[in-house]
Amino acid sequence: TAARAWWKEAVVYQIYPRSFNDSDGDGVGDLQGIIKRLDYVADLGVDVIWLNPVYDSPQKDNGYDISDYQAIYDEFGTMADWEALVEEVHNRDMRLVMDLVVNHTSDQHEWFRKSRQRDPEYEDYYIWREGGTDEDGDPVPPNNWESFFGGSAWEYDEERSEYFLHLYDTSQPDLNWRNDSVRTDIFDTIEWWLEKGIDGFRMDVINLLSKVEGLPDGDPDSEWVGAEHFIDGPEMLSYLTALDEEVLSNYDVMTVGEMPQLTVESALEYADTDGPLDMAFHFQHTKLDYADGERWSVGDWSLPELKRIIGRWQDGLAADGWNTLYWENHDQPRSVSRYGDPENYRRESAKLLGTFILTLRGTPYIYQGQELGMTNADWETMDDLRDVDAINHARELLDRDGVEEYDDVKDIVGYRTRDNARTPMQWDDSRNAGFTDGDPWIQVNSNYREINAADQQADPDSVYSYYQRLIQLRSDRDVLVYGDYTDLLPDHETVFAFTRSLSTDSGTEKVLVVLHFDDATETFDLPVEYADATLRECNYDHDDQNPETVTLAPYEARVYELF
């Protein structure tokens, strides 16, 4: 069994400050708004809050474009508000994890402004290159790398007369981690926040820091052109090891790396017991519904494929390392709209998806509103969209042959836009779902009268109450944290059944989880061993708990315990 750690036993709740709660009526969520709702978060039973970036920023990418690492964005509040927040979080026995965005800064950061002026001290803080020319003598960027948000990863800067690299938006230039002063400045900033009493970091695109020397062209046919030269680059492990040894290891904090295209093999380098980080987010299951590996398309997903991915990670990190478990975050559409049935079985499928992340082995991450079964919204016009990623890609799709107007791409853009996760938290059935007294910065999902926190807190059958019970169960039962994982039916098309088991001084604790990912009914033969097990949690009411053959209702989820 794995060594105990508080962050393995914790359940994390993610707050997207812009969309959580607005205290001053400007339509944008803020820190005082979060403080007002902390009791709600604590009542859910979670242990850690991960806060998306609240640093000063022009907000081109909602805070992932930082212009000052040591100041708070004024629409969110002040440093005093932030200090009050961390204190109030700690008063409720929860911990606070901050977002760390150090692959890039905003182009409004002082470092970039000086760098583009060739100030000798900052000249080399970013990745600047001269371009070339094509056959016709027209200027072309230094290589063929692409931005994740579409288009070339290079932008020509008139002021410096060179191109700079931006793997995300043009307003997000990539820092040059080869420069010792960049690393020193970043390490100092990290230490500064740790001294302010935070409990860890979620590290944004942290496996992108090291770019291959010479910046060679990437395979033009790959999912993200250039990725083989900037993901898990040659210096990656040494940067993170230095960060851990010089800074992080002096504090009792948790670290989770967000790592595009992460494999089990690299996860074990970054985040095994000796690795610099505690755990990492991979994206393999979030690509199940891509058609032909393409994000701006939708395909059918299959449960056996999901099980193969989950099994690869559960087994791969069984002996060493630690998993993260998530369906949603601020970059992903709502899970019930993606893997469940928001029309006919919203409650049931939302509970089924909750059971999944709260009973597998790893640290669960719940995104605000997921505990209510919030759904994707409708994005009727381009003007409704706020997400730079969706807007850029919608424009690219509109340039394609045969595509004439937004209506032609609305289905895919509306399904995939990160805005789905960013509609305001639905607190109650009052105007704007209780999020703001003003005009919300993004539309409120029109279903807030049916789906909101106030109703669900009062209802023991709600998605919220179900999450609350399962979070409690997970914190009461070591087997749900540390127990071994076994998939009972790897090839079954609609049933995901697995066990967790843990040997203790007083015997073996076992849990059986049965998840029915379909809207028909299906039978499941209860393993003989579980004939006398207790049905601890289920998203349907049952009289007959342990028949030999269980008839599973649409999206039924069962959790049996055996001690």
Closest-by-Cβ residue to ligand TEU is 64
Buried b (16+ CB within 10 A) or exposed e, 149-173: bbebbbbebeeeebbbbbbbbbbbb
Q: Cα(119)–Cα(409) distance, rounded to whole angstroms?
A: 45
Is 17 an interacting residue with respect to ligand TEU (CB under 6 A)? no
Is 270 an interacting residue with respect to ligand TEU (CB under 6 A)? no
Q: Which is nearer to ligand TEU, 190 or 470 (CB)?
A: 190
Within residues 330-349, the interface with ligand TEU by CB under 6 A covers: 330-331
Is 260 an interacting residue with respect to ligand TEU (CB under 6 A)? yes
Question: Which of 64, 159, 134, 139 has the alpha carbon at shortest distance from 105?
Answer: 64
* Residues binding ligand TEU: number (CB under 6 A): 13
- Cite the beta strand spans of 55-172 per DSSP E: 55-56, 68-72, 95-100, 128-129, 132-133, 139-140, 154-157, 162-165
Cα–Cα distances (Å) from 381 to 123, 377, 392, 415, in that order, read: 42, 12, 14, 13
Contacts for 261 with CB less than 8 Å, ≥ 6 apart:
207, 223, 224, 227, 231, 232, 283
Is 174 an interacting residue with respect to ligand TEU (CB under 6 A)? no
Cβ at position 331, least distance to ligand TEU in Å: 4
Q: Exactly one of 64, 356, 406, 482 binds ligand TEU (CB under 6 A); which one?
A: 64
Q: Which is nearer to ligand TEU, 168 or 555 (CB)?
A: 168
Q: Which is nearer to ligand TEU, 147 or 462 (CB)?
A: 147
Is 86 an interacting residue with respect to ligand TEU (CB under 6 A)? no
CA 360 to chain centre: 17
Question: Which run of H or of E encompasses 563?
Answer: none
Q: Exactly one of 204, 328, 509, 556 binds ligand TEU (CB under 6 A); which one?
A: 204
Question: Which of 329, 374, 436, 388 has the alpha carbon at shortest distance from 28?
Answer: 436
For Cα atoms 358, 348, 307, give the angle at the middle one, nearest 5 degrees: 50
Is 27 an interacting residue with respect to ligand TEU (CB under 6 A)? no
Q: Which is nearer to ligand TEU, 106 or 359 (CB)?
A: 106
Cβ at position 405, least distance to ligand TEU in Å: 26
Is 44 an interacting residue with respect to ligand TEU (CB under 6 A)? no
Is 101 an interacting residue with respect to ligand TEU (CB under 6 A)? yes
Q: Which two tokens stand for residue 311?
A: 């099994």
Q: Exactly one of 192, 283, 540, 563 binds ligand TEU (CB under 6 A); which one?
A: 283
Residues assigned a catalytic role: 204, 258
Buried b (16+ CB within 10 A) or exposed e, 419-434: bbbbbbbbbbeeebbb
The pattern of x and - marking residues 508 through 537 that bind ligand TEU according to CB under 6 A reads: ------------------------------
Within residues 126-155, the interface with ligand TEU by CB under 6 A covers: 148
Is 168 an interacting residue with respect to ligand TEU (CB under 6 A)? yes
Interacting residue ranges for ligand TEU, rule: CB under 6 A: 61, 64, 101, 148, 168, 204-205, 258, 260, 283, 286, 330-331
